[in-house]
Amino acid sequence: MSDQTVIKAPELDFNTPQLLRYRKVRALKDKAAEISIGMGGISVILAICLIFFYLLYEVMPMFKPAHMSQVAQYSIPGSELVSGASSRTVYLAMEEQAEKAIRVTESGQVIFFNVQDGSIVSEKTLSLPEGVSVSSFSESAIGNHLVIAGLSDGTAVIFKHSYKMTFPDDVRVITPMIEFPYGDEPIELDNNGGAISNVVLRDSEAALFVIGLNDKNELFSSYLSKEEDFLSGDVTLEASDVIMPNLNDDVVDMRLGPDLRWLYISTAHGKLDVYDLSDHEKPLLNSRVDLTDGQYQITSLELLLGGISVLASDSSGSVSQWFMVRDENNEYSLQKIRSFNHSQSPITSVASEHRRKGFIVGDKDGHISIFNATAQRMLVDEKVADGEINHLIIAPRANFLMFENDAGQLVLWSVENEHPEVSWAALWDKVWYEGYEEADYIWQSSAANNDFEPKYSLMPLAFGTLKAAFYAMLIAAPLAICGALYTAYFMAPGLRRKVKPAIELMEALPTVILGFLAGLFFAPFMEVHLPGIFSWLLITPLSIVFFGFVWANLPASIRHKIPEGWDPLLLLPWITVVSWFCFEMSPVIEQLFFDGDMRNWLTNDLGIDFDQRNALVVGAAMGFAVIPTIFSITEDAIFSVPKHLSYGSLALGATPWQTAIRVVLPTASPGIFSALMIGMGRAVGETMIVLMATGNTPIMDVNIFEGMRTLSANIAVEMPEAEVGSSHYRILFLAAFVLFLFTFVVNTAAEFVRQRLRTKYTVL
């Protein structure tokens, strides 16, 4: 027996300086990767939190409560100049900067004074006949400074107070003055010389209309038409007769609308009458409503900014808003829009804001409230005096208010009320806006005139966002999921390696290009070939099924000439031919079934409105943009399903189709659901496509042939024009905040569902 040599395995040293150095470097790299990845994740979370808090920072000032504080209190300027009742105030107003104010007394004194301390700046006296006093007073329109004084001798004087602003030595100096744009001669109203107890004035581009009321409840008027000389530009006034209605009750107050048509008269028995003066020879009583059911007295009438709405206050402490509404027969009638409860004390003074649909109310017990008509809410309710509030006025910028108290003093208060038109009702509920037949959801943030009532309902924008996303997902989801299923499970690997990158490359196409093509090419094309579009949507799937049936029944010798998994390429020429046939037959189909015009048939026969840039166009364009996202994630999820599951299903006798539906899809469902949610988020936040491919009309209509406006598109359109810090500006940030919350809620819910699905199918 020979000796056997034992060969020992070489000893390996894992602690050589080189290996130790390698492990140390690798540990440092692992630690650096861990820290950088962690910091990246934290940075993403931090960025999202910063976006959230910045949006909240811009939105929160809208919901800051309004407040007011007393600034000054002093004796009524000029009250000591004339003793007795003749020093009673008949008119009080402030100029733009709230630095100067005007006070007109019963004796015709016009006193300009400083708002902060009551010091008199200048004094003037109207040229009134001896023994004649001012018996009534009115302003033509809110904030235009053209006023009329009704006199005790049956006449009236029209004048305007204006303010010249200069800057000597860079110091602002405001110089008040009085002008007589229509002459300083009194206008005769009552020929019998009765005192004018109430007077209204309206100055429009076409005419000057004055209506006076005497102590016998008789109405008198002076209608002066304006004619402008074409060459010189001089305006001449031509008087014409207007027959006034006969009144059968004591008049409390009256107002005239800006269109010189509607005359509102409140009576002592709580009635509000509206007379139609469009026919100067035949005034008609259009409406008569009982405001108080005989329980209270109407104390005053006031017009809101623009003169469309009339505010009726009563002795119960409430104010109601009314305006004329047109019915289906094009007839107007007075409708009550909303009520505002101030207090239990009789209202003594009401003043409208100069630039917003707001107003302030003062009562007999010294309470002042600030309301906004559109938002239908009380903003401030403050006890400011121990007695009655008289001659309550508000500055043009709504930052100061002033009133007379029972002690013969003027009291000045500062007001901070930046966003009165914002409320939950104004943003999300139906609102009855001026000029509309009923309450509705309206978004219209600006208009050409200053009397405009902003309409900030976010409902049409939220609805448009969901509508656009719904139609985009309706088109994209089936195509993307079915395409991903076929690509990952049935398609040849060589063809898959070409198709998948090609579809993912679609995602790199700028959405502005898609929007451009959709708005300028596809929308007009679809309008002209509407029957072809619908026939293509119907015929193409059926033709594909037909082609597959024919291909499956061809002889094997023909089918085997195409490598397995590459046969889908044969569909490309087939779909091209079918598409060409559908669009070529479009005029024939339209002539046979739709009398030559499918658009008119939809509108006239079915009552479906058609807009060229509609939800169908948006759905196709946005679907094209969303398909790559859903396809890529879904395809990866299906391709990642373990092969032993599909092999086991096939081995047990299931067909490839049964395996795909009952095994592969459920297993990949968490990934598919994530793909759908990511695609939904992409569709909701899409801006350029909906901006260019829709009519951008903020309407609430599920009609696929109507357009819409989304939250993101609205932000893109209006943010550059919004005044920084304004309600409009902050509401746009609120729209962005709503989008942010919507995405957050959807993603949170999606993650919850995805985890449930993963837990359910992870045992396979």
Q: Are residues 467 and 321 in the same domain?
A: no
Interatomic CA distance for residues 671 and 101, integer angstroms? 70
- CB count within 10 Å of CB 499 equals 19
Nearest to 461 by CA among 233, 252, 674, 715: 715
User: Residue 593: inside a domain, yes or no?
Assistant: no
Q: Give the DSSP per-residue string, 191-236.
A: TT---EEEEEEEE-SSEEEEEEEETTS-EEEEEEEEEE-TTT--EE
* Residue 54 confidence (pLDDT) above 80: yes
Answer yes or no: is pLDDT of 266 > 80: yes
In a 13 Å sphere around the CA of 162, the CA atoms on its Cβ side amount to 8
- Do 484 and 431 lie in a common domain? no
From 210, 242, 274, give the residue that closes a domain: 242
How many Cβ atoms are within 10 Å of 180's Cβ, its own excluded? 13
CATH number where 263 lies: 2.130.10.10
- The DSSP 8-state label assigned to residue 76 in this structure reads P
Residues 362, 163: Cα–Cα separation, whole Å: 28
The predicted-structure confidence for 189-241, as pLDDT tens digits, reads as follows: 888 888 999 999 999 888 999 999 998 888 999 998 988 776 666 778 888 88
pLDDT, averaged across the chain: 88
Q: How far is CA 570 from CA 159, 193, 540, 564, 575, in A?
A: 87, 100, 14, 12, 9
Is the same domain home to 722 and 667?
yes
Distance, CA of 543 to CA of 43 (rounded, Å)? 51
The encoded tokens of residue 77 equal 């300027």
What's the burial of 676, exposed, middle or buried (CB within 10 Å: 0-12/13-18/19+)? Answer: buried
Domain annotation covers residue 449: no
* Confidence check: pLDDT of 726 > 70: yes
pLDDT per residue as tens digits for the range 529-578: 888 888 998 999 899 999 888 888 888 888 888 887 788 888 889 999 99
Are residues 330 and 401 both part of a single domain? yes
Question: Do 731 and 60 meet the contact criterion of CB atoms below 8 Å apart?
Answer: no
**In 3D, which of 385, 396, 314, 403 has the Cα closest to residue 352?**
396
Supply the pLDDT for residue 477. 92
DSSP state of 270: S
- Co-location of 236 and 272 in the same domain: no
Is the pLDDT at 757 greater than 80? The verdict is no
Domain termination residue (choose one: 242, 275, 300):
242
Position 443 confidence tier, pLDDT thresholds 50, 70, 90: very high
Same domain for 660 and 517, yes or no, is yes
How many Å separate Cα 160 from the centre of its chain? Answer: 37
The structural domain count of the chain equals 3
HEC profile for 552-568?
HCCCHHHHCCCCCCCHH
Helix, strand, coil percentages for the chain (3-state, nearest 5): 40, 25, 35
Question: What residues contact 619, with CB distance under 8 A and at least 6 apart?
Answer: 468, 471, 472, 474, 475, 704
Q: How confident is the model at residue 80 (pLDDT cuts 50, 70, 90)?
A: low
What is the spatial distance between Cα 359 and Cα 526, in angstroms, rounded to a whole number?
A: 51
Average pLDDT of the residues in 462-483: 92
Give CA–CA dist 123/176, Å, rounded.
10
Let me know if residue 272 belongs to a domain: yes
Predicted pLDDT of residue 761:
67
CA 710 – CA 703 distance, rounded (Å) = 15
Does any domain span residue 559? no
Q: What is the H or E stretch that residue 747 is in?
A: helix 727-761
Q: Is residue 596 part of a domain?
A: no
pTM given for the model: 0.87
- Predicted pLDDT of residue 233: 67
Residue percentage of the chain with pLDDT more than 90: 42
Domain limits for position 661: 460-525+609-761
Whether 540 is covered by a domain: the verdict is no
Kindly state whether residues 232 and 282 are assigned to the same domain: no
In a domain, 604, yes or no: no
